[in-house]
Amino acid sequence: MKTAIVGAGASGVIAALSCKSKEIILIDGNDKSLKKILLTGNGRCNYWNEYIDIDKYNTDNYDILQKIISKENINKTYEFLYKLGIYPKIKNNNYYPYSNQASSVRQILEKNLTKKNIKFINNFKVNNIYKINDEFIIESTNNEKIKCDKLILATGSKAYPKTGSDGSGYELLKKFNLKINPVTPALTKLFTKEKYLWENVRSDVNIKLFVNNKFIKEEYGEVQLTMDAISGICTFNLSSIASKSLYLKKNVYVKIDFLPNIPNIIQFLDDRQKIINGNIEEILESIFNYKLMFVLLKYSNINKEKRWDDLSLIEKNILSKNIKEFKLNIIGTDTFDKSQVCTGGLSLNYINPKNMSVNDVNGLYVVGEILDVDGMCGGFNLAFAFITGYLAGSDIND
């Protein structure tokens, strides 16, 4: 029995390491394996999370996802990673290698490939796969051919194509008449219709996402504001749904609460005025970054020289609303080459969650980000790549 794994990223390498096939070949279009992993977690590789659960993911089939990331599969995969040699440092439920170096994770995985004598064929860009009887034929752009009995496709998405994941895997799946759900950028910046002079301001906020005027999801955390975009982890975590909705031509906006811990702004500023016998700028200046404060005042049409207690109730309400519910219309996302992952991909409806095999194509397995599953920031995407790689690899025993 010969098993080929196309894609030597996180999912493909774990598939290879957990596979017990007589002959295992790992194929990649790059010269080296695991290029993307070096970029993860800002070079620290946030590879796992204490709370892996379906509410941390977007997918087209939550029932199948629930079976894939069952407690049992999570535990088995984590134990496998641990036994390979990855020792964790856990911070706020996020797992990093204790070394804080993504390169150490790559080295450990590569050394294990060598120990296991797994044949790595590099610079083999696959551009066609077909089946003759029970055998898969894998063809490269240079017309080289590799044959195998079982095939694990682990080619990733279209995010950060310079790491090798250029979306060509979707085309390979289409050759088996499998439909690909629309693929759009995720874990990415969101561009706004409005342009404000708050370049490079960071603020701890609550952000609520609305699609076609319906509240969808909220996040707390630091937002980074630029003239024409918002970013930061809390924005990223809303970006998948925003991206999909924009693709479907829906109306998308966010409302930002710049003082999430203060429920009653009018009361709060009344109290501040009593302490600070000055104008509104003096009342707000240690609360907001100056750039943000001037945007809030300008947008509320309030002169910074005025005193808070001289404002009309209407003016007070307008400023209070802008502090608590600042609306920004979302008109786009960043491009694939600057987005960490993608939404969409191969529907989970095709997948047998026991082993990641494709129901309609005997011998074919699909793992990792090429599937229609994307996770929030916090190690959930690598965890999904590892779990699915492990499930497929450990299913092949002969």
Ligand X SMILES: Cc1cc2nc3c(=O)[nH]c(=O)nc-3n(C[C@H](O)[C@H](O)[C@H](O)COP(=O)(O)OP(=O)(O)OC[C@H]3O[C@@H](n4cnc5c(N)ncnc54)[C@H](O)[C@@H]3O)c2cc1C
Residue 78 as a binder of ligand X (CB under 6 A): the answer is no
Residue 59 as a binder of ligand X (CB under 6 A): the answer is no
Q: How far apart are CA 173 and CA 283, in angstroms?
A: 60
Q: Three-state SS for 16?
A: helix
Q: How far is the CB of 321 from ligand X (least distance, A)?
A: 36
Give the pairing type, strands 341-346 and 180-186.
Answer: antiparallel
CA 96 to the chain's CA centroid: 16
CA 164 to the chain's CA centroid: 17
Count Cβ atoms below 10 Å from residue 312 Cβ, excluding itself: 8
Contact predicate 205/302, CB 8 Å: no
Residue 232 as a binder of ligand X (CB under 6 A): the answer is no
Residue 348 as a binder of ligand X (CB under 6 A): the answer is no
Stretch that binds ligand X, among 35-43, 53-61, 230-238, 310-318 (CB under 6 A): 35-43
In terms of CB distance, is 12 or 353 closer to ligand X?
12
Exactly one of 379, 387, 394, 396 binds ligand X (CB under 6 A); that residue is: 379
Q: Three-state SS for 34?
A: coil
In terms of CB distance, is 106 or 316 closer to ligand X?
106
Residue 81 as a binder of ligand X (CB under 6 A): the answer is no
Provide the 8-state DSSP code for 33: S
Contact predicate 87/130, CB 8 Å: no
Q: How far apart are CA 99 and CA 89, in angstroms?
A: 8
CA 212 to the chain's CA centroid: 23
Residue 188 as a binder of ligand X (CB under 6 A): the answer is no
Residue 345 as a binder of ligand X (CB under 6 A): the answer is no
Stretch that binds ligand X, among 22-30, 69-77, 110-118, 239-247 (CB under 6 A): 22-30
Q: How far apart are CA 363 and CA 52, in angstroms?
A: 28
Q: Three-state SS for 37?
A: helix
Give the H/E segment covering residue 6.
strand 2-6
Residue 159 as a binder of ligand X (CB under 6 A): the answer is yes
Stretch that binds ligand X, among 16-24, 58-66, 163-171, 173-181 (CB under 6 A): 163-171
Residue 369 as a binder of ligand X (CB under 6 A): the answer is yes
Contact predicate 69/384, CB 8 Å: yes
Stretch that binds ligand X, among 7-15, 75-83, 282-290, 354-362 (CB under 6 A): 7-15
Residue 382 as a binder of ligand X (CB under 6 A): the answer is yes
Exactly one of 11, 245, 320, 322 binds ligand X (CB under 6 A); that residue is: 11
Residue 393 as a binder of ligand X (CB under 6 A): the answer is no
Contact predicate 46/378, CB 8 Å: yes
Number of residues forming the site for ligand X (CB under 6 A): 38
Residue 168 as a binder of ligand X (CB under 6 A): the answer is yes
Q: How far apart are CA 73 and CA 383, in angstroms?
A: 11
Q: How far is the CB of 304 from ligand X (least distance, A)?
A: 40
Residues that bind ligand X (CB under 6 A): 6-12, 27-30, 35-36, 39-41, 46, 125-126, 154-156, 159-160, 163-165, 168-169, 340-341, 368-369, 379-382, 385
